[in-house]
Structures are given as C-alpha cells and as structure tokens.
Amino acid sequence: MLSQESLARIDVEVAKYPPEQKQSAVMGALRIAQEEKGWLANETIDFVARYLDMAPIAAFEVASFYNMYDIEPVGKHKITVCTNLPCALSGGVHAAEYIKQKLGIDFNETTADGKFTLKEGECMGACGDAPVLLVNNHRMCSWMTPEKIDQMLADLDK
Amino acid sequence: MLEIEIDGKVIQVNDGSTVMDAATQAGSYVPHFCYHKKLSIAANCRMCLVQVEKAPKPLPACATPVTNGMKVWTHSEAAVKAQKGVMEFLLINHPLDCPICDQGGECQLQDLAVGYGDSSSRYQEEKRVVLNKNLGSLVATDMTRCINCTRCVRFTQEIAGEMELGQAFRGEHAEIMPFVEKTVDSELSGNIIDLCPVGALTSKPFRFSARTWEMSRRKSVSPHDSLGSNLIVQVKHDTVKRVLPLENEAINECWLSDKDRFAYEALGSDERLTKPMIRQGGEWQEVDWQTALEFVANGLKSTVREQGAQSVGALLSPHATLEELHLAQKLMRGLGSENIDSRLRQADFSGDASRSGAPWLGMPIAEVASLNRLLVVGSFLRKDHPLLAQRVRQAAKRGLRVSYVGPNAEDWLLPVRNRALVAPGKMLAELAGVVKALSLAVSKPVSGAIADYVAAVAISPAAQAIADDLAAGSSAAVWLGNLAAQHPQAASLQQLAQEIARLVDGRVGIIGEAANSVGAHVVGAVPGAGGRNVADMLDKPLAAYLVLGAEAEFDFADAVKTRTAFEQAGLVVSLGAFRSVAALDYADAMLPIAPFTETAGTFVNCEGRVQSFYGVVKPLGETRPGWKVLRVLGNLLGLDGFDFAKADEVCVEALGGSPEFVSERLGGLVDVPLSSQPAAEGKGFERVADIPLYFADPLVRRAPSLQKTKDAAAPLARMNAATAAASGVADGQLVRLRSAAGVVSLTARVDEAVADGCVRVAGAHQSTAGLGPLSGVISVEGL
Ligand code: SF4
Ligand code: FES
Ligand code: FES
C-alpha cells in the first residue's frame, strides 16, 4: 500500500511514542501517506489505521478534521483561504470570492485543467495578517489583496 | 473526603468527584446530554453549566472536579441563564418536529427544552442537514437530529470495545459516522439507542410502531444467556413492542446485549405454534387441549405399561423456566423414569457420579471487577456471553489479566495476555501443563489423584506463561466456557481447572450456556440414580421422549443422532412455542407452550440468583404456560402432587421457599480420574463448534432483524492457513466436510484464529446439522 520509504518514515514517527500508544503517531503517518499518494483515499486511511493498531474511523476523524489532509483528490496547487471571524472582518471572505471568480470554481472544487483547488480554511493563527491564505499546505501568504492574489496565481501557473 | 456546598446543602464527597457526582449525591438535578455515568467525560454539550463561587464564568458540572469548600449553584439565575443559552444553541440545528420523530415523548432534548428552551426560535437561517447512515438491521438513524454528544462513539469504544463510530469532520460539519459504509456490528449495538439522548439513533425493528406513553412497562428476565439480564418489556394491545434494559448493577448494569433486546421479534413469528397438534395415522391435525393432552397421557401410559418406565425420557431445554423444568422432572419421576436431562449440548457425563450441587460461575457476577487474574478455558466468551465479556473488558482496563486455553482465538476486544491455542484434543494436556508449571511456581504439590497424569506432560511455553501470570496474581478465577462444557473430556478439563484454582486459592466456575442452566440442575432436571443422560438416551433410543423447548437439529450435541432417535421413537411429545419443520417429521404431538413473555416463571442465573417474572402479555392463540400444561398432564397421568394454582407455588416447591440465591445448592465440582480416551479419533481435522449467538435458542433463531446481522451469517469452514494448505483448499473455496455421521458443504475461510489441525464449523445451524456431533474428527476436501 505504502512504499518502504514511507513506512520507514512512519516508523520514525511511531518510535517517538510508547509502544502501546502507537496511534499517537497518526498525524505524522497520515502526512507521510498523503505526501506519497497525493491525497488520502479511504484505503490509505484504513491502511494507516491498521498499521498503527487503531480503529479506521479514529484515523478518519483526524484526516477529516484538519484541512491540511485531503480526503479527496486535489489539483496541483491547493489554495486554502481562511474565512474565520478575524479574517472575515478584514477581507478574508472577499479574498476568497475574488479567487473563486478568478478561477471559476467554488470551495472544494478544482479547475478543469487540474491546476488549482480552492479550500476554505480555519484560523491559521495569523489573524493580524488577514486576509491570509495557505498554498499547498506549506506556504503562508499574508495581506492578500487582489493584486497580490493575481501575482500569486500567475507565479503558480508558471 | 471533600466538602462542597451545592444549592445551599453541605455534603461530603469522595476525592476525585466531579461537581456532577456531588450534585447527584446531593439530589440536585443538573441538566445534561453528553454525560453518562458509565462513559468517559467528554464535556462537549455544555448543558450542565453551573455557577461556581469565585469562578468568572459558568463551569460544566460533569468535567469540573470538586475542590474543598467549593460552593455551587445549579439553579441560580446565572446557572439557568447559561443553561438556557446552551439550549438555544442546541436547538439551532435540531429539527423542531418532535411529532414526527420516533424519539418523541422519550427524548432528553425534548424534555429539557420544555424547561430551558424558549417557546419560539430566534434562529431564522437555514438549518444543517446530515445524511443518514446505514448502521445495519438494528439501529436506525436520523442524523440531522444528532446533537454530537458522542455518547454513541464512546460506547462503541469503551464498552463494546471496538470504535465502530466516530465524529468526523469539524465544526458545523461534524457528523457521527462509521468508517465508510460499515455497519455497527457489535453484539451490544442496541445500547446506543438507549444512550442517544435524541432521536438520531432509534430502534429499527421498533421504529414508528408505538409511542412510549401508549405502552405499559413490565419487568421480565432475559431467557437467553446465563447472565439473566433484567428487562423492561413494553407492551401495547397485548403485543410486545420492544425490550429495554431494567438497570441492575449486579447483573446487566444498564446494558442489554442485542440478543436480549431484539429477540422479542420472534414472539410474533409466523412459525409460532398456536394450537395443539397431534399426529394420528400419519396425519397432523389441530385439536383442542383436552384431546391433545389425553393423547399424550395415553401414549405415555401405554409406553410405560408395555415397555416399562425406563423406555421413557425427558429432554428439557435449559432455557425453560424453573417451574417447567421442575414439573417435567417430577412427571418423569412420577412415571418411574430417571431418564431426565437438560444438558442437551453436552457430550461428557463422566463427572455426574461425583458431582453434587449445580455447576455455576463460582462467584458473584459483580465480583469480576475485583479479580486480577482470569483463566478462561474453552469459550467464545464475547459472543456466548456478551455482557459478561463486557464486565471482563472493563476489569481488564483496571488491571485484570486474562489468559485463555482453547482452540479459538477470535478477537474478544479485550487484551488476552497469554493464550494457548490448541486443538480440543490437546486441551487436557495443555491444561495439565499449566497445573504442572503452576505447582512449581507456587511450590504446592499437585493433588494425588491427578499427579501422575500431570507429571507425564510437558509444559508448553504458553502453559508456562499462563502459570507464571496466574501465580503472580492475588485474586484469580478459572472459568470453563460453553466449549469446555461441551467438550468430550469436559469433566477432566473441569478437574484440572479445579486444581488450578486450588493452587492459586482462586475460584472456579462454569459460565453456563443458558438462562436456566443452573436452575435445571437445582430442580433435578438431570438423571438420578439409574437414569440415563441425554447422550445415553439418544445412543440407545427410547420408546418415548418428552421434549421441552428444544429442536432436534439445533439444540443437541449431535443433530443426526437426535433426529434418528426421535424418528424411530414410538412417541415424541414436543412442547414449544414454535412449529419446527423437523418436528413435523419426528414428533407425534406438538403442544404450544408459552415463551417467557406469556408465562410466569423463574430463571436461576450463573451466580445462583433466583429471578422470577410474570407473563407480560396473554398467550398467543391456544398457547398455554408450560407449567400449566405439565400440571394437567400430571393430573391426567394420575400422578400425585400436581395441584398447583399458581406458578409461584411450583417455584416454592421446587426451591423449598423463595430464596434470593440458591447458594446451598450450588457446587458442581467433580472428582474424576483424568480421561485417557483421546478427545478425537480418526484421520482428519478436529471440529471446533461454536454456537453462533443468534442460533443458540429457538427464540433468537426466529428474530428477523437479528438474523440480518453479520453475526447471523451462514457458517463457514474456518481453518488456519496451515490446515487449509494441508487439506489443499483455498480461502473462499467450496469444501466438502465429512464426519462419521454425514457430509455437508460449506465455504472455506482461512482464519488464523483457529488452532492448527482444526476446522471451526458452527453448530446449531441447518447447514451444518448433517455433521452430527459438535466435536470429533472431520475431513475436508475441496470441491
Ligand atoms: S447520534 Fe445520538 S448519541 Fe451519537 S452523538 Fe449524536 S446525539 Fe449523541
Ligand atoms: S482568523 Fe484567519 S488566521 Fe485567524
Ligand atoms: S453534560 Fe457536561 S458538558 Fe455535556
């Protein structure tokens, strides 16, 4: 199901916890699985759960809770816009609307060319920088005015 | 102890108590949803907010530990304001359509909304909708009603032992679900219906068939396993509508197994026998009771007259009531026959001569909590005794270490620390190995009678581990499960179990198969001096059988032999609630007797507790309570002592009073030389037969919703990979199984939870009845 390399990385996570609490490694293990597979299909979650001796639904709870985990396939670039209250008060929703209109997709949708997926995110702990968005789970972008969004999309499209 | 003042009342509570515990103790009701005394604390509904002195904001009573000198108000203005605020939030997404909800009238949200809700909602926006889930044939869902208290999730995880439900997604999108399309398959699943404080989880079989206020609530006792769960049977228009638990901390706590809860569906089955029937000249005819009973009485009398009393025997179901069992044995003995037995699935009776008192659990059920070592021998514990297994599961969390000796290793959803996975034929030697290792570990000699046998066996690593673990404990019990009781060397296994208990100063017991296994022994539904046991009665067939509550093809140790014996008998009188197809072939009279809901009766559970109950509905059709039928039969046979006006009188006679426990009549220890007979002879694999929980008795076999569960799936021929390879079959392949008695075809399943050299083939099922004995050797051949 997962490559030897991924399994070895998961084992490193598992080793951080007492043996009877293997499931503590679930977040790391799901992250590693997602890196290999691109997203977390039910079979992948099931595999990770069994690997960690935990109930599959418990792993699914984690995978469905955090929006850095993708339980559906995503495009090449995943853009997650924070719409929680502080951001919403400072233009977060407008930023999201702008992206939607620009890409012609709604939240949880992917552009026809498979390049962009738009997600609605929860507070990223950077409310002061609102509007805030996250690119591909790793790059945080602050003060996202329409101009900066245009620039960002153009860079990503290259 | 801590001192706390609640609503002006000063009380002392134990260290570690929560404000909720203290409020309960003080008699103050704090509204709540997610809190449940048997589950862990989640504190997610926030309904239990209370005012606490010096706390800047209201605190959840269920999750706030008491501190010394704390002052709490549960109904102050501030507390009620907080509670009302939470209620308003809860009702934002909850449908306000109680009249069309199955939970209406027994909904905690509805009830509390009366006290804490407003008469109209300020919320005008769209409500959320959650798609329903298919959880199987027992639990219906209406997930939009869910308030996300997670009681159901915690139940599956903590009580049932396997997290089958979870709360996925987050915030407004959070929903309770199983993992993708899976159903909830726990044998305890029905409890989530009771736990759900709203109408999100309701009973599928009961759904929309009655309102709670239209039904009366009547107490009863479960007729299935040996625990004797206490029931509330709800009745409308003289029909049983559903069954709920009656809380009894000493027995079932607040739970029921699905078998206890849903088997009532069989009461309305088309297969109910509603009129007495007799066969004359090969033709079945419905007759009135008088005719039927005279037919039976005459048949019995002429058999006794012509062939002697020894040619008559009674085979009595251990699920029958104490009153029925007492009168049936009295009737037999009145006729002069000691051929009486109720241990229908048992194979070894060599312990009978030395046994006095009824075999029982050897300890009160509630004391499982105080054990720290438990050795189980030959049991499908989780499925055979769902709620007893649940107690063991809870005890295991607090340090009870469980070991097992037997041919099966299916998951009990509790940690089994040491396991000797051995074929039935090797169980005796394995257990002797435990005795040997234990005697060395505790430096006590093995008892004289078995010392030679024990000295000759080798100690396996598993036996050593079990012995070491037992020796390190301080409060141990050894339990013999149904598989051990049905084992061809049952008495010898028991002898060794007794020895193990002796060596560790522990207790030894037999879990018992049925609701009245203990009761049957107590009233003498076992052969007396000169009498024949069930195996003997079937090996050398009798001229007449009185069969009470049992079906030849399902309830006996050897379906083939039973069938043959019945077919050749001159007279088979079958008393039961159902018309079985097989009985039409072999019986000569079928008398409809009342199931537990239609008669008064008594069961004695595995701890020796006497539990009497009344009928909750009128008997169906011409059905009559079994004790009345047997009383009249006794009269027609001209026997003395059959003048009872009420069931209680029968019970008083049977028990010599109305004791709460039959303590003086318990015992059941054996003293036998260890069997030198091999448990299985011949070439092939040893059969390991479980009795699947939804086939174990006539009632549950006919409960349609239970029959749709995974546990009621058709039996497979389960064997480990080595055995499968040795017999040249693959997983999923159709195989032919052959025993000395016959041949059946089943699908093979590779299952590492079966001991090497064994094939697990369930009993009590039409598809396997042809194999005959539950134990012994069978051959496997791929088709
Ligand atoms: S389904 Fe019922 S028990 Fe489960 S979380 Fe929802 S409200 Fe609570
Ligand atoms: S609300 Fe958007 S980052 Fe905190
Ligand atoms: S009962 Fe206390 S938070 Fe739910």
Q: Hey, is the C-beta of A55 within 8 angstroms of any chain B C-beta?
A: yes
Is there an atom of ligand 3 within 6 Å of B197 CB? Answer: no
Q: Hey, is the C-beta of A108 within 8 angstroms of any chain B C-beta?
A: no
Chain A residues with CB under 8 Å of B130 CB are none
pLDDT score of B682: 75
Is there an atom of ligand 3 within 6 Å of B46 CB? Answer: yes
Is there an atom of ligand 1 within 6 Å of B402 CB? Answer: no
Q: Hey, is the C-beta of A101 within 8 angstroms of any chain B C-beta?
A: no
pLDDT score of B679: 65
- On the question of pLDDT at B172 being above 70, the answer is yes
**DSSP, residue by residue, B102-166:** TTTTS-HHHHHHHHHS-SS-S--SPPP--------SSEEE-GGG-----HHHHIIIIISSS---E
- List all residues 6 or more positions away from B640 whose beta carbon is below 8 Å from its beta carbon: B334
Is there an atom of ligand 2 within 6 Å of A126 CB? Answer: yes
Average pLDDT over residues B229-236: 98
Give the separation between CA B180 and CA B157, rounded to whole angstroms.
Answer: 17
Is there an atom of ligand 1 within 6 Å of B107 CB? Answer: no
Helix, strand, coil content of chain B in percent (nearest 5): 35, 20, 45
The conformational region for residue B221 under phi > 0 = left, psi -120 to 50 = alpha, else beta, is: beta
Alpha carbon of A65: minimum distance to chain B alpha carbons (Å): 5
User: pLDDT band for position B677 (50/70/90)?
Assistant: confident
Question: B615 near B597, Cβ under 8 Å?
Answer: yes
Give the separation between CA B166 and CA B189, rounded to whole angstroms.
Answer: 14
Tokens at B669, concatenated: 């220890």
Chain A residues with CB under 8 Å of B180 CB are 42, 60
Nearest alpha carbon, ligand 1 atom 3:
B196
pLDDT score of B181: 85
Q: Tokens 């109209």 belong to which residue?
A: B120
- On the question of pLDDT at B524 being above 70, the answer is yes
Cβ pair B166:A122 closer than 8 A: no
pLDDT score of B294: 98
Adjacency order of strands within the sheet including B9-13: B9-13, B2-6, B70-73, B49-52, B59-60
Give the separation between CA B350 and CA B676, rounded to whole angstroms.
Answer: 12
Give the separation between CA B138 and CA B164, rounded to whole angstroms.
Answer: 14
pLDDT score of B580: 86
CA diameter of chain A: 52
Question: B294 near B269, Cβ under 8 Å?
Answer: no
Q: Hey, is the C-beta of B49 within 8 angstroms of any chain A C-beta?
A: no
Chain B residues with CB under 8 Å of A83 CB are none
Chain A residues with CB under 8 Å of B182 CB are 57
- On the question of pLDDT at A157 being above 90, the answer is no
Dist. CA B747 → ligand 3 center (Å): 49
Question: B739: burial class by Cβ within 10 Å (0-12, 13-18, 19+)?
Answer: buried
Cβ pair B178:A61 closer than 8 A: no
Give the separation between CA B257 and CA B275, rounded to whole angstroms.
Answer: 32
Alpha carbon of B180: minimum distance to chain A alpha carbons (Å): 8
Dist. CA A67 → ligand 2 center (Å): 14
Chain B residues with CB under 8 Å of A58 CB are 163, 166
Give the separation between CA B519 and CA B343, rounded to whole angstroms.
Answer: 12
Alpha carbon of B472: minimum distance to chain A alpha carbons (Å): 22
Average pLDDT over residues B226-248: 98
pLDDT score of B676: 79
- What is the rounded end-to-end Cα distance, in angstroms, of chain A? 33
Cβ pair B169:A58 closer than 8 A: no
pLDDT digits (tens, 9 = 90+) for A26-59: 999 999 999 999 999 999 999 999 999 999 999 9
CA dihedral B40, B42, B45, B47 (to 10 degrees): 60
pLDDT score of B474: 95
Nearest alpha carbon, ligand 1 atom 2:
B196
**What's the gap between Cα B181 and its chain centre?**
28
> By mean pLDDT, which of B114-123, B219-228, B325-334, B701-710 is the weakest?
B114-123
Question: B240 near B616, Cβ under 8 Å?
Answer: yes
Q: Who among A55, A60, A122 is closest to B168 (CB)? A: A60
Q: Hey, is the C-beta of B157 within 8 angstroms of any chain A C-beta?
A: yes
pLDDT digits (tens, 9 = 90+) for B458-483: 999 999 999 999 999 999 999 999 99
- On the question of pLDDT at B681 being above 80, the answer is no
Q: What is the ipTM of this complex?
A: 0.92
Q: Hey, is the C-beta of B171 within 8 angstroms of any chain A C-beta?
A: yes
How many interface pairs between A and B have CB atoms less than 8 angstroms apart?
Answer: 36
Chain A, 29 to 48: residues with Cβ < 8 Å from chain B are 42, 46
Q: Hey, is the C-beta of B588 within 8 angstroms of any chain A C-beta?
A: no
Q: Hey, is the C-beta of A3 within 8 angstroms of any chain B C-beta?
A: no
What percent of chain B stands above pLDDT 90? 97
Sign of the alpha-carbon dihedral angle for B356, B361, B362, B364:
negative
- On the question of pLDDT at B316 being above 70, the answer is yes
Chain B residue with minimal CA distance to A41? B180
What count of other Cβ atoms lies within 10 Å of the Cβ of residue B27?
Answer: 10
